[in-house]
Amino acid sequence: MAKALFFDIDGTLVDSKGDCDEIPEGVVRELRRLQAAGHRLFLCTGRPRLLIPPELDAFGFDGFVLSNGGHVEIGGQSVYQELMGAKLATEVADLLGGMGFEHTINSAHHIYLPRDWWVMRNFFSDMQQCFTYDYDRADALARAIKLECFPTEEERERIRQAVRREIGPEVTFNDNGTRGTLELYSARMSKATGIAVALEHFGIAREDSYGFGDGTNDLPMIRACGTGVAMGNACEELKREADVVCGNVHERGLELALKELFPASICR
C-alpha cells in the first residue's frame, strides 16, 4: 500500500545554514528506494515555488506543498491555493509599511517587491531573478498567499503585538521563513491544509502519511500526518509532539529513520 512522505527542506533534507546544502547521498538512495516501491514523496516547505532550489526541483518529487500549505503543486500543475484575501493582505501590508518595514508579497508564482526597497533587495541579492518589481499593488495583494519581511528579534515582537492589536487572530506568523525572515499569512492556512489536499489527490489515508521536519511551522505537518518525525536539530516543541525523533542532517538522521520506518523487506 502506497505511503505519502512529506519533507521540510531546511534543517531536514539539507542544512543550508551549515555545510550540507545538498541532500546527503544516503538519503537520496533511500528516497529512490521508496519511490521505486510506489510511495509518494513531497516537499513540504514554507518556500514559494520560485525559491525551490533547481536540484530539488529536478529530483522528481511527486508533489510540492508550498508556502506553508498555501499552494499545492502536483505534476507541474497548481491544484490548490489558499489566498489571504485582498482585505486581510492589504491590512497587513499597510501595517508593515506604516511601521517602516519593507516586505515582499508572495503569490503562487510571483514574489512582488518594489524596485526601490533596497533593504529587501540587498538581503536577497543573489535571488534578483525571482522577484517581480513592476506590478499593480492591489492585484498583487489580491493574489497574496503570504507576506514576508526581515525584522530583528525585537522588531518581530513589535510586529506581532501590532498585528494582534490592529488586525487580530486572523493572521499567524512563522519565524522560519526564507533565510530567517518573518512570514505573515492567514490563520486558516498551515502545512496541514496542503497535506490534506495532497493525500486526497492520491487517495492515501492520513494514517499512511509521514511528516519530517525541524521547525515550529512543521508542527501542523506532524500533527496532520499519521507519523510525525522530528529531526535531532528540531525545536523542543516539535520533538515533544513527534512520534519519532531521529538524528540531525549530519548524523545521517533522516537516512537511518527511513531505513527503520521502511525496512527493505516490506518495500519489495
Query: Whole-prediction pTM value?
Result: 0.92
- Mark residue 131 as left, alpha or beta (left: phi above 0; alpha: psi -120 to 50; beta: remaining): beta
The ranges of the chain annotated as CATH 3.30.1240.10 are 86-186
pLDDT at 251 over 90: no
**216-237 tens-digit pLDDT:** 889 999 999 999 999 999 999 9
Q: Which residue has the higher pLDDT, 196 or 178?
A: 196
Residue 236: the pLDDT is: 94
Q: Are 12 and 232 in contact (CB under 8 A)?
A: no
Question: What pLDDT score was predicted for residue 250?
Answer: 82
Q: What pLDDT shows up at residue 249?
A: 82
pLDDT for residue 87 is more than 80: yes
Provide the pLDDT confidence category of residue 266 given band limits of 50, 70 and 90. low
Q: Which residues belong to CATH 3.40.50.1000 in the chain?
A: 4-81+190-266
DSSP bridge partners of 71: 66, 81
Strand order in the sheet with 77-81: 77-81, 71-74, 63-66, 40-44, 4-7, 209-213, 227-230, 244-245
Pairing of the two strands 182-186 and 209-213:
unpaired
Q: Is 1 exposed, middle or buried (0-12, 13-18, 19+ CB in 10 A)?
A: exposed
Kindly tell me if the per-residue pLDDT of 186 is higher than 60: yes
CA dihedral 137, 141, 144, 146 (to 10 degrees): 90
Q: What is the pLDDT of residue 179?
A: 77
The pairs formed by 230-233 with CB atoms below 8 angstroms and a separation of 24 or more are 231/11, 231/12, 233/11, 233/15
* Tens-place pLDDT, residues 104-156: 999 999 999 999 999 999 988 888 899 999 999 999 999 999 999 999 999 99
Give the architecture-level CATH label for domain 86-186: 2-Layer Sandwich (3.30)
State residue 134's pLDDT score.
96
Give the contacts of 221 (CB within 8 A, at least 6 positions apart): 6, 8, 44, 190, 191, 192, 195, 211, 213, 228
What's the confidence (pLDDT) of residue 185? 96
pLDDT band (50, 70, 90) for residue 15? confident
Between 3.40.50.300, 3.40.50.1000, 3.40.50.20, 3.10.580.10, what CATH number should domain 4-81+190-266 receive?
3.40.50.1000
For residues 97 and 141, give the distance between their C-alpha atoms in angstroms, rounded to a whole number. 13
Are the beta carbons of 221 and 195 closer than 8 angstroms?
yes
